[in-house]
Amino acid sequence: GQNIDQPTEMTATEGAIVQINCTYQTSGFNGLFWYQQHAGEAPTFLSYNVLDGLEEKGRFSSFLSRSKGYSYLLLKELQMKDSASYLCAPNTGGFKTIFGAGTRLFVKA
Amino acid sequence: DTAVSQTPKYLVTQMGNDKSIKCEQNLGHDTMYWYKQDSKKFLKIMFSYNNKELIINETVPNRFSPKSPDKAHLNLHINSLELGDSAVYFCASSPGQNTYEQYFGPGTRLTVT
């Protein structure tokens, strides 16, 4: 079966660092995407990890451990505009990417 | 220019009606998708086409029928609409499979009354 677990909600303060965790169990695995989705908008791509380790891209970094079925998204220097849902999405092979329910992040002043 | 566009943005209709949602991408991508996002925010894949060929067909009722007249278009027709069909439907495209990110359209909010 396919299962993706991530926290439902998180709250953090502007300027702080927040880590959003994701664990997954899938029948196949090629890599893991993170997408950002603001309320009422479409998801937009943030990162893609294939190999174990940390990928850094500006204020956002993403980590993957294939053996543990674990990933996290790290957001630094939080801004109000980072308030959104963050979707963990493993690619299970071929054209199929499965999306988690998302973590709603609230950034407060 | 909009990369992935969908029409209409909002659709309100009654149970039993038939409706269509259109999707177009101008990115030159080979692969297009339809997703359903329900009130709990789960984004579930429904269909995927690669070069106009159906490659993913999840357990979706037969009332849903996708059509891809060419690589740039993927339309979704829904027959005999039910209350449970109310959701936001997203179209997406990608250059290919596996490692490629998907580009999503703005979504179509369907409300069935």
> Could you give the percent of chain B with pLDDT greater than 70?
96
Query: What digits encode the pLDDT tens for the residues B19-33?
Result: 999 999 999 999 999
Vertex B72: Cα angle to B39 and B3 (nearest 5): 65
Query: What digits encode the pLDDT tens for the residues A29-69?
Result: 999 999 999 999 999 999 999 999 999 999 999 999 999 99
Name B56's bridge partners. Answer: B48
Q: Residue by residue, what is the 3-state secondary structure of A53-108?
A: EEEEECCEEEEEECCCCEEEEEECCCCHHHCEEEEEEEEEECCEECCCCCEEEEEE
Q: Which residues of chain B neighbour A43 with C-beta distances below 8 Å?
A: 43, 90, 102, 104
Residue A19 pLDDT greater than 70, yes or no? yes
Query: What digits encode the pLDDT tens for the residues B65-95?
Result: 999 999 999 999 999 999 999 999 999 999 8
* Minimal-distance CA residue of chain A relative to B39: A101
Position B40 confidence tier, pLDDT thresholds 50, 70, 90: confident
Identify the pLDDT of residue B98. Answer: 64
* Cβ pair B43:A99 closer than 8 A: yes
Segment A87-91 shows an average pLDDT of 95
Residue B100 pLDDT greater than 90, yes or no? no
* Cβ pair A94:B98 closer than 8 A: yes
What gap in Å lies between CA A72 and CA A85, rounded to an integer?
A: 14
Average pLDDT, chain A: 95
Selected residue of B25, B32, B46, B98 to mutate for chain A interface (largest A Cβ count, 10 A): B98
* Minimal-distance CA residue of chain A relative to B46: A96
Identify the pLDDT of residue B57. Answer: 85
Task: Kindly report the nearest CA distance between residue A17 and chain B, in angstroms.
Answer: 25
Q: Which residues of chain A neighbour B97 with C-beta distances below 8 Å?
A: 94-95
Q: Which residue has the tokens 């973590």?
A: A103
